[in-house]
Amino acid sequence: MSRRPPLLAALLCASLLGANLLGACLPAQAQQPLRPKAGEKAAADKAARGPAPAAVIACPSVANYRMLMQAGATAAAATLADPKADHLGCAALPRQRIGAVVDRVTLAGRSYDCAAVKDTTVCHWVEAGTLPAAGAQGWR
């Protein structure tokens, strides 16, 4: 059998509802703000940080880079995502691994930059203009 609140308490809470003071009628536990679940909090934090920097398709050989990019960046990304495809030594590198431009070349009217890559001694080739200018935000 449930216990009914006294009449005076019920009338007091009803009058507080009219004055938007509902918190006085609720127990302390009900007045605490709802906490997001662990997964929801992680997702909200990730969304607040913004999108992750896009990966850069790069190759240790400018000839391989030209062959990979012949069908466009979307097709190149699909090729790199396929584990059975020939990647020609190319990879989608996160921007934080890419350093300064160390070499430039122009072939058939198109310019390419070779950028240093962290933890390697070989520069990797990318289309000129793909990398931010020296001193830009996020650039090492």
DSSP string, 40-66: HHHHHHHHHH-PPPPPEEEBSSHHHHH
Region 114-132: mean pLDDT is 90
| Higher per-residue confidence, 110 vs 40 | 110
Report for 14-18, 42-46, 103-107: range of highest mean pLDDT: 103-107
Q: What is the pLDDT of residue 129?
A: 87
Q: What is the pLDDT of residue 139?
A: 46
Parse the chain into domains and list their residue ranges. 7-49, 56-127
Each residue's pLDDT tens digit, 46-104: 555 545 567 899 999 999 999 999 999 999 999 999 999 999 999 999 988 998 899 99
CA distance 33 to 38: 15
Q: Can you give the C-alpha Rg of the chain in angstroms?
A: 30
CA distance 96 to 54: 10
Answer yes or no: is pLDDT of 22 > 60. no
Answer yes or no: is pLDDT of 5 > 80. no
Residues in a beta bridge with 87: none
Confidence category of residue 34, pLDDT binned at 50, 70, 90: low
